[in-house]
Amino acid sequence: MLNIYKQSFFGFLWLFVVLLEVSSAEEDANGVISKDRASLLSFMAGIVSHSERALDKWNASGIHVCEWSGIQCHNVSRAVVKLDLSGRSLRGTISPALSGMSSLAVLDLSRNFFEGQIPPEIGSVVGLKLLSLAWNLLEGEIPSELGSLRQLIYIDLGSNRLSDNIPSELFCNWSNSIQYIDLSNNTLTGKLPLRDECKLKELKYLLLWSNRLTGQVPPALGNSSKLKWLDLESNFLTGELPLDILRKMPYLQFLYLSYNGFTSHDGNTNLEPFFDALANFSHLQELELGANNLGGVIPLNIGDLPKNLSQLHLAENHIYGTIPTQISNLTSLTLLNLSSNLLNGTIPIELCQMERLERVYLSNNSLSGELPSALGDLPHLGLLDLSRNQLSGSIPDSFANLSQLRRLFLYKNNLSGTIPPSLGKCVNLEILDLSHNQISGLLPGEVAGLRSLKLYLNLSSNHLQGAIPLELSKMDMVLAIDLSLNNLSGKIPSQLGSCIALEHLNLSSNILEGPLPSSIGQLPYLKSLDVSSNHLAGALPLSLQASPTLRQFNVSFNNFSGNVSSKGGFSTLTLESFLGNPELCGSIKDMRPCPRKKRHGHVLILSILLSLVAMPLFCIFGYPALTLKTRIKRQLSIFHEDNNSGDEEQGRKGFKSKRYYYLPKISHRQLLEATGGFRQSSLIGSGRFGQVYKGVLQDETRIAVKVLDPRLADISESFKRECQVLRRTRHRNLMRIITICSKPDFKALVLPLMPNGSLENHLYSPTGGPTSGPLHLTQLVSILSDVAEGVAYLHHHSPVRVVHCDLKPSNILLDEDLTALVTDFGISRLVKNSDDQSNNVYNSAYDSVSCSSTDGLLCGSVGYIAPEYGMGKRASPEGDVFSFGVLVLEIITGIRPTNVPFSGGSSLHEWVKSHYPYNLDPIIEEALARHRCPGIQSEPLNELWREIVVELIELGLMCTQYNPSTRPNMSDVALEMGRLKQYLSSPSEVMILEASTTKS
């Protein structure tokens, strides 16, 4: 019995102790949570500006701290372990109270607008493993107390305004843990404080670019043998290239030493030892040594550099001699930059064996000889810059084979011969500059008709002759044309008025004659016009004076005559713009005033008599002819209607452009016949503004008819808006309009029928699209590239800048070749160019509008809408970039952004970001399983597809950043997607990769 009592006693005692411990643990946990809450509220008090969503649920009644936006807690203790408020547009200072969060392991406040200094108290959060304060407005010196964070693995303080020296405590105290250091893009000074006893053995990434660091690279950096990425660009570092230090970094992948003061060995005469040291770096991918003081010749052992090397920069140095043929051994090179050196000799023909080359810069040297015709055999070449050399001979016809060529710079050489018409086959060419050469002959119509030119055409300072080709009017996307200093003759074609994106036109110093066409003055974006030193005559067009955009104007040394007013667009001009035209007079300062006309009585009487005689004649003959002309003009109007209905007044209000594109007439009755009376079986889609029906016209043309719902209050505006966009934008990745049909009670757009339906059908239909199976990854990359090109055109190159506002899979249609076309501009916004503050006729009625719920207009579809739109921000190109990013993530994950199985109300973007970068494997495997490409049979190819998926995820995350200013623009997105598309489009590219990987 006693034993039983003893056992019971000790059992109760043990239970009591356990309860005490549990109670104590609960009190400790509650204390930690309470302390974390107080620290966060103090931090919140230092924020002076933020959006409602940025600090969602913070300090809300009854909401646990672990449910606050940007907070992650420990599963058991419920202590805050992660504070991630990156990209939330927060303004204010960083409170020292964050030091009270003892369990914090991750602190990410990057990409905001925090000011002031970094609180030294952060150094007391000893468990911190990740610290990111990048892309803010922080200033002052880096606190040495941060050196106390001995468990720190990752620190990013880049892109701030930090100054003074880097504290030595940082590099020395982090020795055992730190893997990633980014202090780039600040104004840090002094030497790298790395002593021999400070061994950063785990360091893999060191980014110190764009500071003011001085001295030599410290030898102690050689202890970081695991370094993969070393970026010391844009500092004031000196000494010989750090050969001995780099020898100890066998895993180095990216080495950036450009824009410093490094020299080569043996008194700045020998680069061979440095290249020899890098020969065994099998992982090296990019090497940048540009803009230093490097001397010597390019050694023969440049061909022994790692075969994986994809980019080589040696520009802006003092390197002389010839380009060795051994450079052709670098078969993986995609970018070669040897510009701005002292190189001579010819361009080696072996250079053309490097089939992966995409960008070649050899400009500003003393290279001579002819252009190798074999350059036309480089299948991926997108940029070729051979300008400012001494090259001679003619431009090879083989350049027509460069199907990917976007930019060709051959200016300031001694090239002769004629411009080969075959250059017109370079259908992706955006810039062509052949200026300052000895080129003669005619300007070929094939080249003048290059519709792909988006930036500029420069053929000035040559010996071109003959007339300006009418085909030049096809360049409706080009921004600048310079044909000056040639021997061009004949008249200036009035058709140049069709170059509706043109901003700069220079036709000076030729022998052009005749009048200056008024259509040039009607160009909506024309900023500068120079036709000086020609034989032009006649009066200056009034349209030039009325131009709201014209800023620079020169018609000097011609034979112009007549009155010149100092009003309108001429109000800021001086006499220098009109010199050498003795028959000009007017009110421009210092210009000869025009003589007053004398009135004679007999002239007045004669005018009255003529008018009395003319009136009866007009009533007999003129009025019927005028009525007939008006009737014909009405029939050709863009608004087509039945004989018993009309909407002419609305048409006049809806379209203010002076230039009409006349479209074929299709009546309401014909549409009824084509669609079977708009029966249900013809319905192929529906949206907020109406339904889309398929149909076949009598001539067998297959059409899609978008019928707008007349019951909607804003349907008229939507109709006019979509007509505006479809009429004025022309791009292969934008849906074109066949015609429209408009009645008071019926409005429809007639579009081509896309045989492969919408992207949404392919993504979510078990059998894929209408005519094919599920899309594989190569096709999806191509489609995304098409979409990016189309939207980039709307944002940056369209005659009228457009924000689409509703980018999603159902608004992306696929033709028979699976080329993507962006459609549905019902809620798009026509916006002003940021450089143009004038009251442009194209933009005055359709300036960007706010998208808040207060005006009843939602700019986009749920799941794709940029977060700033929910705060009443105006429609912007950045909003389209966000939607494109969602589209990319949707394609990769296979999850609709409106049907996301996420917890806590997070978005698709946030969910993917929570897996990046270490937990992406499930997403990647799922994407490859859904969109498996033909031919995935080997590990190298499988790895290629995995890398492509990762790049797409990264691009999607970049585009969906909360801060609009940190998103890339659509031109950059299109360039990146084009690179991926090209990389995947060539089977030989994949085979080379497989072979090289298998060999290594």
> CA 965, 968, 971, 975: dihedral to nearest 10 degrees?
170
Q: Which residues are annotated as a binding site for ATP?
A: 706
pLDDT surpasses 50 at 498:
yes
pLDDT surpasses 80 at 596:
no
Peptide bond into 143 cis (omega under 30): no
Please state, as a whole number, how many other Cβ atoms lie within 10 Å of the Cβ of residue 166: 24
Give the model's pLDDT for residue 529: 95
Tokens (6 digits) for 841: 């006729």
Give the model's pLDDT for residue 941: 63
- Domains of the chain (ranges, CATH numbers): 7-107 (3.80.10.10), 626-753 (3.30.200.20), 757-1000 (1.10.510.10)
Percent of the chain surpassing pLDDT 70: 79
CA distances from 413 to 84, 419, 434, 438, 473 (A): 55, 14, 9, 8, 28
Q: How far apart, in whole angstroms, are the C-alpha atoms of residue 641 and residue 648?
A: 9
In this structure, of 577-591, 666-680, 748-762, 847-861, the range with the lowest mean pLDDT score is: 847-861
SS3 154: strand
678 versus 799: the higher-pLDDT residue is: 678
SS3 148: helix
Please state, as a whole number, how many other Cβ atoms lie within 10 Å of the Cβ of residue 414: 13
pTM: 0.62
pLDDT surpasses 70 at 872:
no
Catalytic residue positions, numbered = 806
Tokens (6 digits) for 818: 């699976």
pLDDT confidence tier of residue 136, bands split at 50, 70 and 90: very high
Q: In what order do the strands lie in the sheet with 535-538?
A: 440-441, 463-467, 487-491, 511-514, 535-538, 559-564, 583-586
Q: Provide the 8-state DSSP code for 795.
A: I
Q: How far apart, in whole angstroms, are the C-alpha atoms of residue 128 and residue 140?
A: 22
In this structure, of 131-135, 453-457, 478-482, the range with the lowest mean pLDDT score is: 453-457
Instruction: Report, as an integer, the average pLDDT of 827-838.
Output: 43
Strand-pair partners of 81: none
pLDDT in tens, 917-931: 878 888 988 888 887
Strands (E), 126-193: 130-132, 139-140, 154-156, 161-165, 180-182, 187-190
Arithmetic mean of pLDDT over the chain: 80
pLDDT confidence tier of residue 845, bands split at 50, 70 and 90: very low
Half-sphere exposure of residue 905: CA atoms within 13 angstroms, side-chain side:
7
Tokens (6 digits) for 835: 């450089």
Q: How far apart, in whole angstroms, are the C-alpha atoms of residue 220 and residue 109?
A: 31
Strand-pair partners of 746: 743
Rounded to a whole number, what is the largest CA-CA distance in the chain? 148
Question: Do 65 and 83 touch, CB atoms closer than 8 A?
Answer: no
* Best CA proximity match to 548, nearest among 514, 581, 521, 575: 521
Q: Provide the 8-state DSSP code for 734.
A: B
Q: Output the 3-class SS for 893-946.
A: HCCCCCCCCCCCCCCHHHHHHHHCCCCCHHHHHHHHHHCCCCCCCCHHHHHHHH
Q: Provide the 8-state DSSP code for 133.
A: -
Give the model's pLDDT for residue 322: 96
SS3 275: helix
- For residue 494, count CB atoms less than 10 angstroms from its CB and return exposed for 0-12, middle for 13-18, buried for 19 or more: middle
Strand-pair partners of 139: 161
Please state, as a whole number, how many other Cβ atoms lie within 10 Å of the Cβ of residue 535: 13
Place of tokens 């490859």: 928
Percent of the chain surpassing pLDDT 90: 44
* Best CA proximity match to 66, nearest among 34, 112, 27, 107: 34
Tokens (6 digits) for 275: 């290249």
Kindly give, in sequence order, each residue whose CB lies less than 8 Å from that of residue 556, ignoring residues fewer than 6 positions away: 532, 533, 576, 577, 578, 579, 580, 581
